[in-house]
């Protein structure tokens, strides 16, 4: 059964022009998708396709001038604003993009403890913080350091540890490979895969399709706010014959193992 | 920590240069002042003093010599620690300053503390709820008061609470006609109330506005978004992230505003006839009491410079992002 079901989600921004006329811009349009426990869903699209906005809409963290339409369900229950406020952090977790999402003036250990407490699972045992960090190859000493000393890969793993500590069932990873080298990218994606193997539902938002394909079960392609294709991940890794939609096909063509061919094999 | 020593040394040299510069400029200004010290000293008795006697006084005070020589004499005696003699109070300048400073430090210290604590709290509250009613009220208060002269606030308080309501005394630091040793603590506090209020009210506005802007910036930051994503409530986020991140800039502003505190205290003390450093400054200026005026000027300069240095150092020491970088000291000491 799906943990998260999104039906016809639309996110629009309102602003007023010089004549105080209302201008509405749809940034996400009619998006429907679902993700089940144990599954990794890759949400792929170019920059500005509305991927992060979709994640923020699920979390209920859209900016004040944004409006979300459509319905979302979490574990079968309607996911409206009060439900989002109640589930945020403890059942639904967000892994943000960069080290800038950690408080610069609080130590890693403190922030890990805060995340756990906010999720209702305070870390009271003496070695709990060190243990939580060691699961993600982080030394216990990292707990006493400030975020600015962390490398991009370490910061990402700290946020993975915070997510793990929250015990969430649904994990939204926003560009988890942004600014990371291949080695660190692989490490982070392995951790995300292990989340799915532990029974969580994982949505990976990425523009790095080759890396995401290594762990994804399904791929949803987003283009200018709309879902243009939803495919099983192995459709991209095989010969590409299964891909019929134009955008999906052109992306398959652009994958490294397919020789970055720009030629179009339209059926 | 060689860089530490270099930093302190550079700061000390710079402080000495600032003090020397201020001494020269203040001396020049005092010399250019239309107030003639001898006339001011004699007051109405001037009619009974002949030119010979005037010349005698001028000679005794060393005022018959050229300004350069006067300055050299005064400056060299300052360097030996002798601040001179105040003709206004007929006591040594060092004694006058230490006595006045004791009553002023209570007033200024408390005003500084109150404006810091209250201003910071109001700023946090307003910044955490931008656009709401509480924010609008706090902002209105802060803008109006930031644009209000100290003496006007002081006079207004005096009219309302001392003259109208008769809740507070009209002047001074203690009841008139009571020996200093008989004044109770309660009486002192009662007399301190209005000057303290006048001085604090203005400091609050500045700190509140600074903190508010910083707080709005913090509440829109990525780490607050992440804290919300973790399920943090607004109160939780304000206390854990907001206060921590807004405190440093607020403390810096607080230390850097010591100069304004001195300026404010001069006006507030004058309105309330509070016998502190501020009213002594006015008195020294009007009576042409150059040694006292210059000594107060130098002391204020020292105080404000130290405050600014603390503000600088604090920012660099307390922020973990900067304190770990060794370039810091070079940057600060440039």
Q: Which domains does chain B possess? A: 18-82 (no CATH), 93-333 (1.10.3720.10)
CA B248, CA B318: separation in Å to the nearest integer? Answer: 8
pLDDT band at B54 (very low <50, low <70, confident <90, very high): confident
Of B225, B240, B245, the CB nearest to A114: B240
Residue A178: burial class (beta carbons within 10 Å; 0-12, 13-18, 19+): middle
Residue ranges of alpha helices (H) inside chain A are: 51-59, 81-87, 108-118, 128-134, 152-166, 182-197, 209-213, 234-237, 246-254
pLDDT at A122 over 80: yes
Q: What was the pLDDT predicted at B2?
A: 61
Dmax over CA atoms of chain A, in Å, equals 62
Q: Which domains does chain A possess? A: 2-232 (3.40.50.300), 239-267 (no CATH)
Higher pLDDT, B11 or A114: A114
**Interface contact flag, B320 A146, Cβ < 8 Å:** yes
pLDDT at B331 over 80: no
Nearest to B274, CA basis, from B204, B202, B199: B199
- Shortest CA gap A258–chain B (Å): 38
Chain A, 30 to 69: residues with Cβ < 8 Å from chain B are: 59, 61
Q: Are B289 and B77 in contact (CB under 8 A)?
A: no
pLDDT at A94 over 90: yes
Percent of chain B with pLDDT over 90: 20
Chain B residues near any Cβ of chain A (below 8 Å)? 221-223, 225-232, 236, 240-241, 244-245, 248, 319-321, 324
Q: What was the pLDDT predicted at A41?
A: 93
Residue of chain B whose alpha carbon sits nearest to that of A85:
B231
pLDDT at A159 over 80: yes
Chain A, 216 to 245: residues with Cβ < 8 Å from chain B are: none
Q: Average pLDDT in the A103-109 region?
A: 91
Higher pLDDT, B2 or A212: A212
pLDDT at A151 over 90: no
Q: What was the pLDDT predicted at A109?
A: 92
**Interface contact flag, A105 B245, Cβ < 8 Å:** yes
Per-residue pLDDT tens digits for B21-44: 998 898 888 888 777 777 777 766
Mean pLDDT of chain B: 82
Q: Average pLDDT in the B236-255 region?
A: 90
Of A88, A102, A114, the CB nearest to B229: A88
Least confident of A153-167, B41-55, B144-158: B41-55
Q: Are strands A2-16 and A22-36 parallel, antiparallel or unpaired?
A: antiparallel
- Shortest CA gap A189–chain B (Å): 20
**Interface contact flag, A61 B320, Cβ < 8 Å:** no
Q: Average pLDDT in the B130-154 region?
A: 87
* CB pairs A-B closer than 8 Å: 72
CA B31, CA B290: separation in Å to the nearest integer? Answer: 9
Residue of chain B whose alpha carbon sits nearest to that of A149:
B321
Q: What was the pLDDT predicted at B324?
A: 55
pLDDT band at A264 (very low <50, low <70, confident <90, very high): very low
ipTM: 0.86
Cβ contacts of B245 on chain A, cutoff 8 Å = 103-105
Residue of chain A whose alpha carbon sits nearest to that of B226:
A101
CA dihedral (B209, B214, B219, B223) in degrees, to 10, reads: -170
**Interface contact flag, B228 A96, Cβ < 8 Å:** no
Per-residue pLDDT tens digits for A187-214: 889 999 999 999 999 999 988 888 888 8
Percent of chain A with pLDDT over 70: 88
pLDDT at B332 over 50: no
Residue of chain A whose alpha carbon sits nearest to that of B247:
A105
Q: Average pLDDT in the A132-152 region?
A: 90
Chain B interface includes A103 (CB < 8 A): yes
pLDDT band at B330 (very low <50, low <70, confident <90, very high): very low
Number of H helices, E strands in chain A: 9, 10
Q: What was the pLDDT predicted at B326?
A: 44
- The 10 Å Cβ neighbour count of residue B154 is 25
Q: What was the pLDDT predicted at B68?
A: 79
Cβ contacts of A166 on chain B, cutoff 8 Å = 230-231
pLDDT at B184 over 80: no
pLDDT band at B210 (very low <50, low <70, confident <90, very high): very high
Q: Average pLDDT in the A51-73 region?
A: 88
Q: Average pLDDT in the A143-149 region?
A: 90
pLDDT at A215 over 60: yes
pLDDT at A50 over 90: no
Per-residue pLDDT tens digits for B272-322: 888 888 888 888 888 878 888 888 888 889 988 888 888 878 777 777 776
Of B221, B231, B236, the CB nearest to A88: B231
pLDDT at A93 over 90: yes
Residue of chain A whose alpha carbon sits nearest to that of B227:
A115
- Extract the tokens encoding B290: 């150059």
pLDDT band at A254 (very low <50, low <70, confident <90, very high): low
Chain B interface includes A118 (CB < 8 A): yes
- List, in sequence order, every residue forming a beta bridge with A28; answer none if it has no partner: A11
Q: Are B274 and B194 in contact (CB under 8 A)?
A: no
pLDDT band at B328 (very low <50, low <70, confident <90, very high): very low
Q: What was the pLDDT predicted at A247?
A: 67
Q: Average pLDDT in the B71-80 region?
A: 80
- List, in sequence order, every residue forming a beta bridge with A251; answer none if it has no partner: none
Q: Count Cβ neighbours within 10 Å for each residue of B28-62 and write b for 16 or more, e otherwise.
A: eebeeeeeebbebbbeeeeeeeeeeebeebeeebe
Mean pLDDT of chain A: 84
Of B223, B230, B319, the CB nearest to A100: B223
pLDDT at B103 over 70: yes
Cβ contacts of B324 on chain A, cutoff 8 Å = 148-149
Of B229, B241, B319, the CB nearest to A103: B241
Q: What was the pLDDT predicted at A252?
A: 67
pLDDT at A128 over 70: yes
**Interface contact flag, B244 A103, Cβ < 8 Å:** yes
pLDDT at A22 over 90: no
Number of H helices, E strands in chain B: 16, 2
pLDDT at A245 over 70: no
**Interface contact flag, A96 B226, Cβ < 8 Å:** yes
pLDDT band at B334 (very low <50, low <70, confident <90, very high): very low
Residue of chain A whose alpha carbon sits nearest to that of B239:
A114
Of A61, A114, A119, the CB nearest to B225: A61
- Selected for mutation to probe chain B from A87, A105, A144 (highest B CB count within 10 Å) is A105
Higher pLDDT, B79 or B222: B222
Q: H or E element: which one contains B311?
A: helix B290-318
Q: What was the pLDDT predicted at A246?
A: 65
- The 10 Å Cβ neighbour count of residue A83 is 18
Q: What was the pLDDT predicted at A111?
A: 93
Q: Average pLDDT in the B223-227 region?
A: 93
- Shortest CA gap A252–chain B (Å): 34
Least confident of A55-64, A235-244, B149-158: A235-244
């Amino acid at each position: 059964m799906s943990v998260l079901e999104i039906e016809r989600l639309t996110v629009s921004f309102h602003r007023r022009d010089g004549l105080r006329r209302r201008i509405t811009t749809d940034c996400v349009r009619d998006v429907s998708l679902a993700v089940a426990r144990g599954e990794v869903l890759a949400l792929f699209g170019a920059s500005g396709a509305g991927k992060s906005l979709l994640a923020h809409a699920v979390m209920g963290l859209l900016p004040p001038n944004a409006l979300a339409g459509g319905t979302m369900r979490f574990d079968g229950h309607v996911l409206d604003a009060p439900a989002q406020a109640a589930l945020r952090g403890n059942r639904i977790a967000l892994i943000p993009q960069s080290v800038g999402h950690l408080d610069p003036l609080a130590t890693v250990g403190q922030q890990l403890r805060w995340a756990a407490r906010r999720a209702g699972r305070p870390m009271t045992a003496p070695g709990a913080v060190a243990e939580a960090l060691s699961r993600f190859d982080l030394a216990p000493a990292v707990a006493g350091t400030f975020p600015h000393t962390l490398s991009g890969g370490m910061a990402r793993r700290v946020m993975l540890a915070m997510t793990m500590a929250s015990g969430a069932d649904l994990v939204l990873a926003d560009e988890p490979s942004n600014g990371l080298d291949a080695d660190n990218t692989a490490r982070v994606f392995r951790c995300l895969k292990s989340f799915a193997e532990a029974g969580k539902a994982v949505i990976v938002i990425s523009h790095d399709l080759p890396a995401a394909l290594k762990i994804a079960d399904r791929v949803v392609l987003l283009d200018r706010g709309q879902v243009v294709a939803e495919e099983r991940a192995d459709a991209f890794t095989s010969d590409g014959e299964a891909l019929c939609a134009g955008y999906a096909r052109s992306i398959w063509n652009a994958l490294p193992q397919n020789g970055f061919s720009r030629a179009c094999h339209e059926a | 920590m060689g860089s530490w020593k270099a930093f302190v040394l550079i700061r000390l040299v710079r402080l000495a240069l600032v003090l020397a510069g201020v001494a020269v400029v203040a001396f020049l200004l005092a010399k250019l002042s239309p107030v003639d010290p001898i006339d001011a000293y004699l007051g109405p008795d001037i009619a009974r003093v002949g030119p010979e006697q005037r010349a005698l006084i001028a000679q005794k005070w060393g005022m018959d010599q050229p300004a350069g020589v006067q300055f050299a004499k005064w400056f060299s005696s300052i360097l030996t620690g002798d601040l001179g003699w105040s003709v206004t109070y007929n006591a040594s300048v060092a004694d006058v300053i230490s006595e006045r400073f004791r009553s002023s430090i209570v007033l200024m210290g408390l005003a500084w503390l109150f404006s810091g604590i209250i201003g910071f709290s109001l700023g946090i509250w307003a910044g955490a709820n931008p656009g709401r009613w509480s924010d609008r009220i706090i902002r209105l208060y802060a803008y109006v008061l930031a644009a209000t002269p100290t003496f006007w606030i002081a006079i207004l308080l005096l009219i309302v609470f001392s003259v109208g309501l008769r809740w507070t005394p009209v002047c001074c630091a203690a009841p008139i006609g009571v020996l200093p040793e008989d004044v109770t603590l309660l009486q002192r506090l009662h007399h301190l109330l209005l000057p303290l209020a006048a001085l604090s009210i203005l400091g609050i506005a500045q700190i509140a506005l600074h903190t508010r802007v910083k707080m709005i910036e913090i509440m829109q930051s990525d780490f607050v978004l992440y804290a919300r994503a973790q399920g943090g409530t607004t109160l939780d986020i304000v206390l854990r992230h907001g206060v921590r991140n807004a405190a440093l800039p607020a403390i810096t502003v607080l230390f850097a505003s010591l100069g304004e505190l001195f300026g404010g205290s001069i006006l507030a003390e004058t309105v309330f006839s509070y016998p502190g450093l501020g009213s002594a400054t006015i008195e020294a200026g009007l009576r042409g009491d150059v040694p006292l005026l210059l000594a107060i000027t130098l002391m204020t300069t020292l105080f404000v410079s130290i405050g600014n240095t603390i503000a600088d150092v604090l920012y660099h020491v307390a922020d973990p992002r900067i304190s770990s970088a060794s370039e810091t000291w070079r940057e600060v000491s440039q």
